[in-house]
Amino acid sequence: MINKLHPLAPVTGKVRRLASRLRQKLIRPEPRRPLTAETLDLFAPDFVTNPFPHYEELRRSGSVHFLPRHDCWLVLGYDDVLSALSQPQSFSSRVEEWMAVDSVLLGADPPEHTAVRRVVGHHFSAHALETQSAFAEEAAERLLRPLADGKTCDVLREFTAPLSEDVAAHLIGFDEAALAAIRATQDTAKDLGQWLAALDSIIAGAAERMPIYGQLLRDGEGRLGHAQVRSLIRFLWIAGTTTTRRAIASSVLMLLRHPSMRPVIESDPALLSAFIEESLRLHPPEHSILRVATAEVELSGVKIPAGALVKLCVGAANRDPARFAEPAALLLHRTPNRHLSFGGGIHRCVGAALARVEMAAALRVLLRLAPRFSAVQPLETLRFTGFVNDTEQLLIER
Ligand code: HEM
């Protein structure tokens, strides 16, 4: 009414109508071109921050897709991903990216893989797990003390990354000097190649002070030379730190999004485990496992040619509606919960049990020291659904 009498009323009205049209556009954006395998860009920001709607859109036209932009195949269906993981003779791990990191275990096929896997498995006994669990709890307590005392905490940088590094260093037997040198390379290495080389030389320098080094050499019974042992130790470090820090950070984010879960999981260790499994299922720290087809092979009736790079997408398989009821929902009573975040078949994660005890220790301590912790920024402003890389930031306070 006042506007009508005001000399600027007609202009204000136009501005209003324009603003309203703009608002409608923002709320109801122009219909996007339908997503196809031809147009999918795995590096596009909207895909990286929230790939799940893209998986579902693509799933409508099948489980197996060729992505021309990436010259690789993407497999989305649970049964297909598991089937490929269970056929190492058709889906080889001798993928360039895997072998660059470690060609002794991760990037190896049977029979070489079989013997090395047995040797490495000795270091993940039930007794070792118990020791690691107690160690993880102490480390989490130390790292979260400032939060309990009223300081803000950068979840990834001040809590989950140093925690997973401390636990991996403890498992491997890096002393303080080696650990400090390794941490320094993370800031100074310019690329992956330089970082891997720096890690290799730190491990060589610390070899005599690390019992695991001699044990792997001895247990390898001549199959493992010094270079292979260094590669294994380096990979244990990478596998033990890069994934776990993101897995714990994603579960902290889930507790922020579902605060009603806190008292439930705090009072019942079985429900804490169920929460951890759901967190891993919904937000695997690695969305894809790489393989290369050794010969022409068929998945869900689609022929994949020999030599093709195949991305087995556990991020999509874990939300396959044919396997999981209400796939996007967090359900503590989901049993069995056979998600594929730790892979499957002969390469299934050797550190899965360790990752689980570490996650449980981290969440127990967090809920004990800061039961009402909250995010410093509004959750709606977070760009990401879960922690899929190390650049994302989540600040919490007591
Ligand atoms: C939440 C945390 C973790 C996740 C999601 C995870 C995930 C995975 C996945 C998907 C694979 C299979 C790779 C493939 O099939 O090519 C794998 C393998 C492996 N992981 Fe983990 N991992 C985690 C933590 C750990 C930890 C804590 C360690 C040990 C310190 C570890 C050590 C390994 C090793 C040595 C392999 C290679 C096994 C083989 O090739 O036979 N992982 N992990």
- CA-closest residue to ligand 1 atom 18: 349
- Alpha carbon 201 to chain centroid distance? 27
Q: Find out whether 347 and 85 touch, Cβ atoms under 8 Å.
A: yes
Computed over every residue of the chain, the mean pLDDT equals 90
At 131, which CATH number? 1.10.630.10
Q: Is residue 4 part of a domain?
A: no
Q: Does residue 9 form part of some domain?
A: no
Among 13-22, 58-67, 87-96, 271-280, the range scoring the smallest mean pLDDT is 13-22
Q: Which amino acid is at 259?
A: P
395 pairs with which residues across the strands? 154
The reported pLDDT for the residue numbered 2 is: 31
Average pLDDT of span 347-364: 97
The answer to whether the CB of 249 falls within 8 A of the CB of 366 is no
In a domain, 196, yes or no: no
pLDDT class of 128 with cuts at 50, 70, 90? confident
pLDDT level of residue 32 (50, 70, 90 thresholds): low
Distance 185 CA to ligand 1 centre (A): 22
- Separation of first and last alpha carbons in the chain: 48
Token digits for 255? 């507790």
Structure confidence at residue 250 (pLDDT): 96
> How crowded is residue 78: how many other Cβ atoms within 10 Å of its Cβ?
23
Q: What separation in Å is there between the alpha carbon of 341 and the centre of ligand 1?
A: 9
In the prediction, which pLDDT does 21 show?
54
For residues 6 and 103, give the distance between their C-alpha atoms in angstroms, rounded to a whole number: 76
Mean pLDDT of 377-386: 88
The residue type found at 379 is L
Q: Would you state the pLDDT for residue 387?
A: 87
Entry pTM: 0.90
Residue nearest to atom 14 of ligand 1 (CA): 347
Q: What is the pLDDT of residues 185-240, one digit of tens each?
A: 988 888 999 999 999 999 999 999 999 999 999 988 888 999 999 999 999 999 99
Helix (H) or strand (E) holding 290: strand 288-293
Atom 6 of ligand 1 has which residue's CA nearest to it? Answer: 342
Would residue 184 count as lying in a domain?
no
- Could you tell me if 358 and 164 are in contact, meaning their C-beta atoms sit under 8 angstroms apart? yes
Answer whether residue 17 shows pLDDT above 60.
no
Domain hosting residue 239, numbered range: 34-173+210-397
Residues 6+ apart with CB under 8 A from 394: 154, 155, 156, 249, 252, 253, 256, 375, 382
Give the pLDDT mean for 108-130: 92
3 domain residue, yes or no: no
Q: What is the spatial distance between Cα 42 and Cα 56, in angstroms, rounded to a whole number?
A: 14
| Atom 31 in ligand 1: residue holding the nearest Cα | 351
The pLDDT assigned to 315 comes to: 97
Q: Which residues contact 151 (CB under 8 A, 6 or more apart)?
A: 397
Residue 203 placed within a domain:
no
The total number of structural domains in the chain stands at 1
Q: Can you spell out the DSSP letters for 171-233?
A: HHT--HHHHHHHHHHHHH--SHHHHHHHHHHHHHHHGGG-HHHHHHHHHTTTS--HHHHHHHH
Q: Which atom of ligand 1 is nearest to the CA of 344?
A: 15
Q: Which two tokens stand for residue 166?
A: 């401390």
List all residues 6 or more positions away from 208 whose beta carbon is below 8 Å from its beta carbon.
Answer: none
**Percent of the chain at pLDDT above 90?**
79
CB 343 within 8 A of CB 85: yes
Contact present, 90 and 294 (Cβ < 8 Å): yes
For every residue of 222-267, DSSP letters joined together read TS--HHHHHHHHHHHHHHHHHHHHHHHHHHHHHHHH-TTHHHHHHH
pLDDT at 4: 32
Q: Please check whether residue 370 is in contact with residue 148, taking contact to mean a CB–CB distance below 8 angstroms.
A: yes
Determine the residue of 97, 243, 250, 359 to mutate for testing ligand 1's pocket, defined as the one with the most ligand atoms within 8 A of the Cβ atom. 243
- Pair 135, 354: CB distance under 8 Å: no
CA dihedral 224, 230, 234, 236 (to 10 degrees): 40
Q: Where residue 389 falls among pLDDT bands split at 50, 70, 90?
A: confident
Do 339 and 282 contact (CB within 8 A), yes or no? no
Q: Which long-range contacts (CB under 8 A, 24 or more apart) does 55-59 make?
A: 55/313, 55/315, 55/316, 55/319, 56/319, 59/316, 59/320
Which DSSP state fits 30? P
Q: Does position 1 have pLDDT exceeding 70, yes or no?
A: no
pLDDT at 390: 83
3-state secondary structure of 155: helix
Q: What is the largest CA-CA distance in the chain?
A: 94
Closest C-alpha residue for ligand 1 atom 27: 240
- CA-proximal residue: ligand 1, atom 39 (nearest): 347
Q: Is residue 199 part of a domain?
A: no
pLDDT at residue 10 above 50? Answer: no
Q: Which residues of 133-159 are buried (b: 16+ CB within 10 A; e: fewer)?
A: bebbbebbbebbeebbeeeebebbebb
In-domain check, residue 256: yes
Section 122-144 average pLDDT: 93
Q: Residue 244 above 80 pLDDT?
A: yes
Lining ligand 1 with CB less than 6 A are 93, 105-106, 117, 120, 168, 171, 235-236, 239-240, 243-244, 247, 284-286, 289, 341-343, 347, 349-351, 354-355
CA 355 to chain centroid:
11
CB-based contacts of 333, cutoff 8 Å, min separation 6: 274
The model's pLDDT over 160-170, given as tens digits with 9 standing for 90+, comes to 999 999 999 99
* Residue 324 in this model has a pLDDT that exceeds 60: yes
Q: Compute the distance between CA of residue 396 and CA of residue 368 in angstroms, rounded to an integer.
A: 15
